[in-house]
């Protein structure tokens, strides 16, 4: 399978202000729709994951990993794309950055519901009257436990050399259109930015998972891991 790693910036144009307003109003879903519409419109099914940052001018900057090459002739985007085919071996150490949506499945009244692990932890401790820094430590621990779960890391073909450094935690709100019912519904989810050092234990399994993304909410800007050799 051939993959493409791309850096995407917004082109100066008469419509730039309109595009920025759409992104600001509808958070991650608007970014997802912009990238699909402008770069991957040939694909009936989503074939990419992405990560959103800001550039030196505080404008949106995107990294995409895709199974199809993005269209270089977008009206609104400038695209720098290259084939992504890292040669990895078992035991190799990599520095990584990952924006992830950690969730836990809870059974209540016979029904399974998926919850953000950070908010779930906060909800469980709501009556404890903890100091803010103590509560924050509990929430950080929940992220560390989720990310460091042995069965999850085994599926991903890696192990973590260091406890992940949690850089930020963000709650998102978007409106997503239901194609069948032709109306919009509100989508809420959370993302956590982490970084650290990992060791590749199974290169084939790791690259297979890398292509699909890590965790949930991949259509909303989560799951793309940025790596570099150390």
What is the chain's pLDDT, residue by residue, as a tens digit (230 residues)? 789 999 999 887 767 777 787 777 666 778 888 899 989 988 888 899 999 998 888 888 999 999 999 998 888 889 999 999 999 999 999 999 999 999 887 777 777 777 888 888 888 888 888 898 898 899 899 999 999 999 999 999 999 999 999 999 988 766 666 555 455 556 677 899 999 999 999 999 999 999 999 999 998 899 999 999 99
Q: Are 93 and 26 in contact (CB under 8 A)?
A: no
Domain of 41: which CATH number? 3.30.70.1200
List Cβ neighbours of 2 (8 Å cut-off, separation of 6 or more): 67, 83, 85
Assess whether 61 and 114 both reside in one domain: no
Q: Are 65 and 7 in contact (CB under 8 A)?
A: no
Residues 130 and 179 both lie in one domain:
yes
Residues 73 and 148 in one domain: no
53 and 126 both lie in a single domain: no
**Do both 80 and 97 map to the same domain?**
no
Same domain, 164 and 79: no
Tokens of 21: 């307003």
> Do 211 and 108 share a structural domain?
yes
Query: How far is it, in rounded angstroms, from Cα 199 to Cα 55?
Result: 30
Based on the structure, what is the number of domains in the chain? 2
Q: What is the CATH number of the domain that holds 150?
A: 3.30.70.1210
Where is the domain boundary, 64, 84, 104? 84
Specify whether 46 is located in the same domain as 99. no
Domain containing residue 47: 3-84
């Amino acid at each position: 399978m051939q993959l493409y790693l791309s850096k995407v910036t917004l082109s100066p144009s008469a419509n730039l202000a309109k595009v920025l307003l759409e992104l600001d109003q509808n958070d991650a879903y608007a970014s997802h729709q912009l990238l699909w519409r402008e770069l991957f419109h040939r694909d009936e099914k989503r074939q990419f994951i992405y990560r959103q940052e800001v550039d030196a001018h505080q404008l949106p900057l995107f990294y995409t990993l895709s199974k199809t090459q993005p269209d270089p002739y977008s009206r609104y985007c400038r695209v720098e794309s290259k084939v992504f085919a890292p040669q990895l071996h078992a035991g190799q150490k990599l520095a990584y950055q990952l924006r992830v949506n950690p969730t836990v499945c809870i059974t209540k009244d016979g029904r399974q519901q998926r919850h953000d692990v950070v908010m779930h932890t906060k909800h469980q401790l709501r009556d404890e009257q903890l100091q803010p820094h103590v509560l924050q430590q509990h929430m950080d621990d929940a992220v560390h436990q989720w990310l460091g779960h042995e069965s999850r890391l085994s599926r991903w073909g890696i192990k973590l050399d260091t406890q992940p450094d949690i850089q930020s935690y963000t709650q998102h709100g978007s409106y997503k259109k239901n194609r069948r019912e032709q109306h919009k519904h509100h989508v809420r989810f959370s993302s956590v930015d982490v970084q650290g050092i990992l060791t590749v234990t199974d290169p084939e399994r790791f690259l297979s998972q890398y292509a699909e993304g890590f965790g949930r909410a991949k259509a909303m800007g989560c799951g793309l891991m940025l790596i570099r050799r150390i």
